[in-house]
Chain A
Amino acid sequence: MTTLHPPAAAAPQLAPPPTRRDRRSWAGWGFLAPFVIVFALVFLAPIAYSLYLSLFRDRLIGGTTFVGLDNYTAALQDENFWASLGRVSLFLCVQVPVMLGIALLVALALDSGRLYGKSFFRISIFLPYAVPAVVATLMWGFMYGTRFGLVGDIDDAFGLSLPDPLSPGLVLASIGNIVTWEFVGYNMLIFYSALRVIPQSLYEAAEIDGAGQIRVITAIKLPAIRGALVIATIFSIIGSFQLFNEPSVLQKLAPNAITTDYTPNFYTYSLSFSGQQQNYSATVALVMGVITMVIAYVVQLRGMRKGA
């Protein structure tokens, strides 16, 4: 009731002159500018350009014409595109759990402290990640060879007749094997570093309570690295959808098993560089980008909800 009114001098501060507010907001933009400019140039402009491209059609006869959303309708009805998407989805469902499972197992083994020569194992399992994907694929490609490769040598040495890893039925599994070999180390490192930050006191408490190793893993370690698991899963999903290096390198060795539309990325590449269909290629790339985003987002939401 008896509160003093604020001093009259404060009143003008509550309603500063409009010119001053303007100046303040521009200063904010000034600080943001380095980010906004780079973000717009390297991120938004390419997407905008792809969007623009996807609205046209360039033909050998007739040149460039505006076709509106025709390319999108074509992409949604494109059997080749859906077949390639189905292929990477199958890859995702089988390869990613296997890879993350192995990575988790290795990370837990390293973290258990019962392994002799821990740093040697850590480095040697991580090493394949340091090999460029193209080199790794070439190396595996030579090993897969049934005539002069490792598979061929095993056949000769033991009088076997192993199935050809580069035949149409097996080549996806062979690619999965290469990708697993490449990325187990990388994922292992993510899990391992997440495991290292768990406070030692939790283990001591578990020990006092009489918890065994398995119980420690399920009750302490796994819940603690849930965030790392979700991140690794999202990276792997994106990686599977963007599969390109391995099939494109192996195609030279197995031209009939790996088609030019084997994965969505490979398909856009072929459309653009062999078929000169840059416009349609941009459309397929955008559709694929949206699908990848949606799936990665759903996984993130689910993973985080459980964590909360």
Chain B
Amino acid sequence: MPKHSRRLLGGIGLLTALALGATACGGSGDGGSDAKKSVSAADVQAALKKGGTLTVWAWEPTLKQVAADFEKEHPGVKVDLVNAGTGNDQYKALQNAMSAKKGVPDVAQVEYYAMGQYALTKQLTDLKGFGADKLSASFSPGPWNGVKAGGDGIYGLPMDSGPMALFYNKKVFDKYKIKVPTTWDEYLAAARTLHTADPKAYITNDTGDAGFTTSMLWQAGSRPYKVDGTKVKIDFADAGAEKYTGTWQKLLDDKLLAPVTSWSDEWYKGLGDGTIATLAIGAWMPANLASGVKNAAGDWRVAPLPQWTAGAHASAENGGSALTLPELGKNEALAYAFVEYANAGKGVATRVQGGAFPATVAQLNSPAFQNTAFPYFGGQQANKIFAESAANVADDWSYLPYQVYANSIFNDTVGKAYVSHTKLADGLKTWQDASVKYGTEQGFTVEK
């Protein structure tokens, strides 16, 4: 028997070696090249004439029409639009394709907060060599800052943006004779008045949302993340963060925030029946309200985001994404032509018509855009408020190069402040520590 078991072991060993061999083939370093690519306008024209097939990974619905128009304009080109999942799901697929160096799309949609990781590991093409730096004036400051991803390059062209505004249920505000808040102090007072008048009604919902909190910090002037290549500094104790935690802690302590998670069924119900009275959220929200909260049509209005200092005009971005060219994609010239067409050319008007919120100054400032009346908001020309907000976004914000991971542990850390006696500021400190730990593990030089 020992002879047999030795043979068995030998067989297992052989299989193991085979498995390991297969792994070793896929495991070698990153293939990104440092050399700056340079593609001139003439190259792009030539590529368009030559034609070819372009694979685009995006979940943005308005791109479908853009792709069709682009194909019509350039008969040789075929755009293969693939929905590989929304947000994080698509990033997982994209990361897998990049690791395997196989099936990487020519163009990929990436949200601003997630760009840092790809830019840093040189998995996205720097579009400076394509002349993208000349487009800086075409885009509003928030999104343009987003595609720079905390570095010197330009890693995509902004597709949409989410300058924040305050959406409020006018019916509720009128019923209890509450003035629409212009500062966060007034907001706090309004929250108290409302909840006292109707204990079932809340000024807003919040169960801890990393995207919302970082946007609020952005508006308050806090800059928790400082990124310089592989050097990262994380600090949630600056003056701006204190302003935010001070007010928000009061809302939490007095139980003035509805414990309802955004995008849940309860949330839509609350938005419809007036128990969630306001939302501070990105300008892409109207389409969601119109489709998700039909029964409250006409009740809601839009106001500028409340301020930390009376009379100020600070704003921030909440969400939004860009189209990027993965380094391992093919047909770069053609891919750039499509991205430019969709995000800076004729495609923008098509997408705005489809309900997208643009990132281009020309569209934001055009009378046609600004004068659009929203039947859902009782005919209000809400785009005027959004456009003003877009122009007021401070452009020196940066996300972490590993913000996707950091956001995934937000509720593990800051979330405690929403369900226990942990203070919001302490929760942010725990988040900071966990983010520092992960950054250090991943090889970043992290300063607290």
Q: Quick one: given A61-B442, A255-B415, are A45 and B117 in contact (CB under 8 Å)? A: no
What residues of B have a CB within 8 angstroms of the CB of A61 in the complex? 120, 230, 442-444
A59 to B442, CA, bound (A): 5
Pick the most buried of B20, B402, B419: most chain A CB atoms within 10 A of its CB: B419
Chain A residue nearest to B17 in the complex (CB): A48
Residues of chain B from 77 to 95 with CB closer than 8 A to chain A in the complex: 88, 92, 95
Residues of chain B from 167 to 213 with CB closer than 8 A to chain A in the complex: 207-208
> With A63-B30, A274-B409 given, can you name 19 additional A-B contacts, CB distance below 8 Å?
A36-B8, A45-B19, A48-B16, A48-B19, A52-B19, A59-B442, A60-B442, A60-B443, A61-B443, A145-B266, A255-B208, A256-B207, A256-B415, A256-B419, A260-B408, A261-B412, A274-B404, A274-B408, A275-B438
A60 to B118, CA, bound (A): 10
Chain B residue nearest to A142 in the complex (CB): B265
A62 to B445, CA, bound (A): 12
For the complex formed, measure the closest distance between the CB of B414 and the CB atoms of chain A, giving whole angstroms.
9
A36 to B11, CA, bound (A): 9
Q: Quick one: given A168-B419, A255-B261, are A49 and B266 in contact (CB under 8 Å)? A: no
A257 adjacent to chain B (CB < 8 Å): yes
Q: Quick one: given A255-B261, A275-B438, are A48 and B408 in contact (CB under 8 Å)? A: no
Say whether B442 contacts A48, CB under 8 Å. no
A163 to B155, CA, bound (A): 49
Proximity bits, B1-40, A CB within 8 Å = 1, else 0? 0001001100110011001100100010110000000000
A257 to B402, CA, bound (A): 24
Q: Number of B interface residues at 8 Å Cβ cutoff, please give it.
A: 47
A252 adjacent to chain B (CB < 8 Å): yes
Say whether A45 contacts B402, CB under 8 Å. no
Q: Which of A36, A168, A253 is B264 in contact with, Cβ under 8 Å?
A: A253
Q: Quick one: given A40-B11, A259-B412, A276-B95, are A62 and B443 in contact (CB under 8 Å)? A: yes
Proximity bits, A219-262, B CB within 8 Å = 1, else 0? 00000000000000000000000000000000011011101110
Say whether B442 contacts A253, CB under 8 Å. no
A64 adjacent to chain B (CB < 8 Å): yes
A121 adjacent to chain B (CB < 8 Å): no
Binding site for B on A (CB under 8 A): 25, 29, 36, 40-41, 44-45, 48-49, 52-53, 56, 59-64, 145, 147-148, 167-168, 252-253, 255-257, 259-261, 270, 273-277
A48 to B15, CA, bound (A): 9
Q: Quick one: given A148-B269, A275-B408, are A253 and B419 in contact (CB under 8 Å)? A: no
Say whether B121 contacts A253, CB under 8 Å. no
Say whether A270 contacts B408, CB under 8 Å. yes
Q: Quick one: given A60-B120, A60-B401, A168-B419, are A260 and B442 in contact (CB under 8 Å)? A: no
Say whether A260 contacts B409, CB under 8 Å. yes
For the complex formed, measure the closest distance between the CB of B262 and the CB atoms of chain A, giving whole angstroms.
10
Chain A residue nearest to B439 in the complex (CB): A60
Chain B residue nearest to A270 in the complex (CB): B408
Q: Which of B29, B92, B419, B441 is A167 in contact with, Cβ under 8 Å?
A: B419
Closest 9 CB pairs of A and B: A61-B443, A256-B415, A274-B408, A259-B412, A48-B16, A59-B443, A255-B411, A62-B443, A60-B442
A245 to B411, CA, bound (A): 19
Q: Quick one: given A36-B11, A148-B265, A274-B404, are A60 and B121 in contact (CB under 8 Å)? A: yes
Say whether B261 contacts A252, CB under 8 Å. yes
Say whether A60 contacts B419, CB under 8 Å. no
What residues of A have a CB within 8 angstroms of the CB of B20 in the complex? 48-49, 52
Chain B residue nearest to A46 in the complex (CB): B19
A287 to B189, CA, bound (A): 53
Say whether A41 contacts B15, CB under 8 Å. yes
A36 to B4, CA, bound (A): 13
What residues of B have a CB within 8 angstroms of the CB of A275 in the complex? 405, 408, 438
For the complex formed, measure the closest distance between the CB of B163 and the CB atoms of chain A, giving whole angstroms.
26
Q: Quick one: given A147-B260, A168-B419, A252-B264, are A259 and B408 in contact (CB under 8 Å)? A: no
Task: List 21 A–B pairs whose Cβ atoms lie within 8 Å, in order of A's numbering.
Answer: A40-B12, A41-B15, A44-B12, A45-B15, A45-B19, A48-B19, A53-B23, A59-B443, A60-B443, A60-B444, A61-B120, A63-B29, A147-B260, A147-B266, A168-B420, A255-B415, A256-B208, A256-B416, A260-B409, A274-B88, A274-B409
A200 to B15, CA, bound (A): 52
Residues of chain B from 263 to 277 with CB closer than 8 A to chain A in the complex: 264-266, 269
What residues of A have a CB within 8 angstroms of the CB of B409 in the complex? 260, 274
A49 to B26, CA, bound (A): 13
A253 to B267, CA, bound (A): 11
Say whether A60 contacts B418, CB under 8 Å. no
Say whether B23 contacts A49, CB under 8 Å. yes
For the complex formed, measure the closest distance between the CB of B122 and the CB atoms of chain A, giving whole angstroms.
11
